[in-house]
Amino acid sequence: MIEHQEFDRRTGPASNGQDDTIFRYCNFGDLSINGSGFDGGLIDCVLRKIDWYWGLFSSTAFLRTRFDNCTFRGSSFMGCRLLECHFSGCDFLLDNLGGACSFEDCAFVECTFDRCQFILDNPIGRPVFAKTRWYSCTQTQCVGLDGLF
């Protein structure tokens, strides 16, 4: 477990080989990450201005984690659990091949979304949300979440 660490442009992201690491009380800011997978956990962490291209999140646990002004491009969230997370000003966009972010078999519990954008239409035609469950979540001024919760 890694606790109370700062990861930014100066330090770089957590080193490779941390795919299943649990991060607690860590801050991640101003990072650009390409094609990296992560199947560990983020507990009480803050991510600010993260640009994550082709992120692969498999069974990742996000607990009380805050995402501020983050951009995810063509990222895949499979079997993830997001509990009491807050997303503010985040964008879930297409990758350069037209692939959308995808959320399959995920559970969002008591998460809040404020001014976020989810691109649903994509040339590949793959659904963005499949078998994803929403429990007591809220959204304000978001695009792409209408009718989901």
Dump pLDDT digits (tens) for 14-26: 765 558 899 999 9
Q: Is residue 118 part of a domain?
A: yes
pLDDT at residue 109, rounded to an integer: 98
Specify if 147 maps to a domain: no
145: in domain: no
How much is the pLDDT for 141?
A: 97
Q: Where are the beta strands (DSSP E) in 22-60?
A: 22-24, 27-34, 37-38, 41-43, 46-53, 56-58
**By percentage, how much of the chain surpasses pLDDT 70?**
97
Predicted local distance difference test score (pLDDT) of residue 15: 63
Which pLDDT score, from 0 to 100, does residue 145 have?
Answer: 96
The per-residue pLDDT for 18 is 56
pLDDT at position 124: 85
> Within a domain: residue 78?
yes
The total number of structural domains that make up the chain: 1
62 within some domain: yes
Please tell me the distance from the alpha carbon of residue 35 to that of residue 75, in angstroms, as a whole number: 8
Is the residue at 146 inside a domain? no
Q: Give the rounded distance of the alpha carbon of 90 from its chain centre.
A: 9
Give me the domain span that covers residue 126. 2-140
Q: How far apart are CA 66 and CA 88, in angstroms?
A: 8
Q: Is residue 66 part of a domain?
A: yes
Residues of the chain with pLDDT under 70: 15-18
Residue 115 maps to a domain: yes
Q: How many CA atoms lie within 13 A of 93 on its CB side?
A: 14
Q: What is the pLDDT of residue 47?
A: 97
